[in-house]
Amino acid sequence: MNNASVDEQMLLKALACAEGFVGRTAPNPPVGAVCARGETLLGEGAHQGAGTPHAEVNCLAQCPEDLSEATLYVTLEPCSTTGRTPPCCELLLKRRPRRVVIGCLDPNPRHAGRAISLLEAAGIRVEVAKGDIAERCKRLIAPFAKAITTGLPYVRVKLAMTLDGYIADHTYRSQWISGAAARDWVQHLRLRADAVMVGAGTVRHDHPSLQPHLEEAPKKVRVLIDRTARIAPEDRTAHTLVATEDLGYDGEHLETPLRALCKRGVNDVLCEGGGRLAAALLEQHLVDELLLVYAPKLLGDAAAVRGLPVAPRRLPEAITFIPFERLALGEDTLLCLKPATAAETPLEQPRGTE
Ligand SMILES: NC(=O)c1ccc[n+]([C@@H]2O[C@H](COP(=O)([O-])OP(=O)(O)OC[C@H]3O[C@@H](n4cnc5c(N)ncnc54)[C@H](OP(=O)(O)O)[C@@H]3O)[C@@H](O)[C@H]2O)c1
């Protein structure tokens, strides 16, 4: 293997290390690291949660003392400032690998490039990845990057719809529009989120747990977006935040509860409906990704619950989207869209349901 493909393979390994902890590291980003001498792996590690050692620390703890012929690969630029743990740059200056390959720069403009200057000044060669692998490293931390640069979490809205755009029948029954494979996929989405959010209408009709079903999964923040604080006591289960009571929501400007969530360390929000909340988020330009699961069904009932009841517009004023992925989920079809006005980097969809 030539050097470039060794670098790419090693960064892929580092990405795989980080992947296992997506949805567990907030407010920190998921990060993975591997250390290798040529093609020989010396150590690997990931950041496993806020307040615990960073990926570089866990990786280098497995490595032999002498790293003079080794390269450290890390998906995100090493930290150069003291947070809850000492800066990783200090450790690298002490352990002195011959080379450091970075997947992407620190998205915080105040820190970006600092580690590179510090390491290079000490005679350690630093390279920053380019192309597809660099994009994958950026996608991995897209929620963290959005949170750190805007104070808002990354918002994905997921809805299961009939072909004619309904999310429940006229009796408000929505179980089940989509099939087992799609419902399985939603579990993966929940695992990757820091918080799962729904509107008060969905709370009243479905009483959803919003937690991943996997027992060992960390509990997610459960966010209920109400206007009138009419959330019944039985829906106020553990880890629940009610928008009007806990997040300063005025019933209209959804940016306020989202900013409040970000301040509480939530970088990544999964909104699981219902239709009116999803439409309001779209109208207020707060959606990063719209994930629509189309079930091969028709209801043909104008009294059924509409999926995205945005205000009526003429074609030139239509809300437009850029599709970035289409997947078969059993009998259903997942369509992933980015509002045409949203930021650059959609997240990778979790696989493993097909
Ligand atoms: N197929 C699916 O993927 C899916 C997913 C979720 C839900 N559902 C179904 O969808 C139905 C509920 O959806 P829905 O559209 O009626 O309700 P919804 O979007 O879940 O909730 C609407 C409620 O949210 C509150 N709200 C707060 N701020 C709002 C804002 N800015 N804009 C709009 N609402 C705001 C209001 O609560 P207050 O009334 O307290 O003021 C409003 O009545 C249920 O039948 C459920 O089973 C289906």
Convert the pLDDT of each residue in 153-185 to its tens digit.
999 999 999 999 999 999 999 999 999 999 999
Cα of 333 from ligand 1 centre, angstroms: 23
Closest ligand 1 atom to residue 306 Cα is: 15
Closest ligand 1 atom to residue 277 Cα is: 19
Span 197-216, mean pLDDT? 94
Q: How would residue 342 be classed by pLDDT, with cut points 50, 70 and 90?
A: low
Span 64-89, mean pLDDT? 87
**186 or 351: which leads in pLDDT:** 186
Convert the pLDDT of each residue in 116-148 to its tens digit.
999 999 999 999 999 999 999 999 999 999 999
Cα of 276 from ligand 1 centre, angstroms: 5
Cα of 7 from ligand 1 centre, angstroms: 48
* Best probe residue, ligand 1, of 162, 171, 174 (max atoms within 8 Å of C-beta): 174
Closest ligand 1 atom to residue 231 Cα is: 40
Q: Which amino acid is present at 333?
A: T
The SS3 assignment for 190 reads helix
Separation in Å, CA 209 to CA 85, 219, 239: 34, 11, 10
What is the per-residue pLDDT for 80?
A: 82
What is the per-residue pLDDT for 88?
A: 87
What is the per-residue pLDDT for 84?
A: 66
Cα of 272 from ligand 1 centre, angstroms: 10
* CB of 339 closer than 8 Å to CB of 290: yes
- Using CA atoms, how far apart are residues 324 and 288, in angstroms rounded to an integer? 12
- Using CA atoms, how far apart are residues 321 and 14, in angstroms rounded to an integer? 32
Which residues surround ligand 1 with Cβ inside 6 Å? 159-160, 167-168, 172, 174, 177, 198-202, 205-206, 225-228, 230, 251-252, 254, 272-277, 280, 305
Ligand 1, atom 43: nearest CA belongs to which residue? 201
pTM to 2 decimal places: 0.93
Least confident of 89-93, 125-129, 236-240, 269-273: 89-93
Ligand 1, atom 45: nearest CA belongs to which residue? 172
- Using CA atoms, how far apart are residues 75 and 77, in angstroms rounded to an integer? 7
Other Cβ atoms closer than 10 A to 353: 19
Structure tokens at 150: 């805007």
Active site residues: 56
pLDDT at 348 over 80: no
pLDDT at 352 over 50: no
Closest ligand 1 atom to residue 307 Cα is: 15
* CB of 156 closer than 8 Å to CB of 191: no
pLDDT at 85 over 70: no
Convert the pLDDT of each residue in 245-264 to its tens digit.
999 999 999 999 999 999 99
**335 or 2: which leads in pLDDT:** 335
All structural domains of the chain, each given as residue ranges with its CATH number in brackets, are 3-140 (3.40.140.10), 153-339 (3.40.430.10)
- Using CA atoms, how far apart are residues 57 and 17, in angstroms rounded to an integer? 13
Convert the pLDDT of each residue in 182-199 to its tens digit.
999 999 999 999 999 999
**257 or 348: which leads in pLDDT:** 257
Mean pLDDT of the chain: 93
